[in-house]
Chain A
Amino acid sequence: MSATAAGPAGGIVLKYVAGIAAVALTAALAWVLRSLIVPAVLSGLLAYICRPLVSTLERYRVPRRVAIGLLLLGFVLATLFIVARIRMIVPTEIEALEYRVHALYVLNDHYRRLMGLDATLSRGNRAYQFLHADLDPLVDRANQMLALTSQERQLFLSTRPGGADAPPDTDRLLDEDRANLQTLLQRARLERATPLAAEPPVLRPATQTAPTMTRPLSWLAQVLSTWIIAPFVFFFLLSDTGEIKRGLLSMVPNRLFEPALTVMADLDHALGNWLRGLFLECCLLGISVVVLLALIGIPLRWAIAIGIFTGATNVVPYLGSAVALAGGLAYALLAGPIHPMIPLVTHDNLAIWVVLAVAAAELLKNIYEPVVLGSAAKLHPLVIVIGATGGAILFGLVGVLLAIPAISMLKVFVASTTRQLKAYGLI
Chain B
Amino acid sequence: MAWLKETSRLAGVRKLLLPAREGGQHFDTPSASLRALFGPVSRSAPVESGTDLLGFLKRVYLFEDLKHGDLARLARIVHERRYRDGEWISEQGKPGAALFVLRSGTVEITRRTGDGGEIPLATLEPPSSFDELAAVGEVARWYSARARGPVCLIALGASDLDALGEHFPIPANKILRKLARITAARLQMLVEAHCLGADDGERRS
Contact = CB atoms under 8 A, between A and B. Distances in A.
* Interface size class, chain B: 20 to 34
B97 A261 contact: yes
B188 to A, nearest CB: 29
A215 interface: no
Interface string A244-257: 00100110001101
A257 B77 contact: no
Question: Chain B interface mostly helix, strand, loop or mixed?
Answer: mixed
A417 interface: no
B157 A265 contact: yes
Given A257-B79, A262-B159, 13 more contacts: A52-B167, A59-B168, A241-B77, A242-B77, A249-B79, A254-B87, A255-B88, A259-B97, A261-B97, A265-B159, A265-B162, A424-B94, A425-B94
A371 interface: no
Contacts of A268: 159, 163
A250 B159 contact: no
A54 to B, nearest CB: 9
Contacts of A58: 167
A425 B166 CA distance: 31
20 contacts: A52-B166, A52-B167, A55-B167, A59-B168, A241-B73, A241-B76, A250-B80, A254-B83, A254-B89, A257-B81, A257-B155, A258-B90, A258-B98, A261-B79, A261-B98, A261-B157, A262-B138, A268-B163, A423-B94, A423-B95
A169 interface: no
Contacts of B83: 254
B40 interface: no
Interface of B: 73, 76-77, 79-81, 83, 87-90, 94-98, 138, 155, 157-160, 162-163, 166-168
Nearest to B77: A242
A424 B79 contact: no
A258 B88 contact: no
Closest 5 interchain pairs by CB? A265-B159, A55-B167, A258-B97, A242-B77, A261-B157
A243 interface: yes
A56 B98 CA distance: 26
* Interface size class, chain A: 20 to 34
B61 to A, nearest CB: 23
Nearest to B170: A59
Contacts of A254: 81, 83, 87, 89
Interface string A217-246: 000000000000000000000000111001
Contacts of A249: 79
A143 to B, nearest CB: 59
A312 interface: no
A250 B167 contact: no
B45 to A, nearest CB: 28
Nearest to B155: A257
A56 B155 CA distance: 25
A261 B167 contact: no
B123 to A, nearest CB: 20
Contacts of B89: 254
A221 to B, nearest CB: 39
Contacts of B88: 255
Interface string A170-187: 000000000000000000
A424 B94 CA distance: 6
Contacts of A52: 166-167
Contacts of A255: 88
B77 to A, nearest CB: 4
A287 interface: no
Interface string A48-91: 00001001101100000000000000000000000000000000
Contacts of B80: 250
A355 B73 CA distance: 54
A52 B77 CA distance: 16
Nearest to A240: B76
B150 to A, nearest CB: 12
B159 A242 contact: no
A250 B152 CA distance: 13
A264 interface: yes
B98 to A, nearest CB: 6
A190 B73 CA distance: 79
Contact of A424 (B87, B95, B163, B167): B95
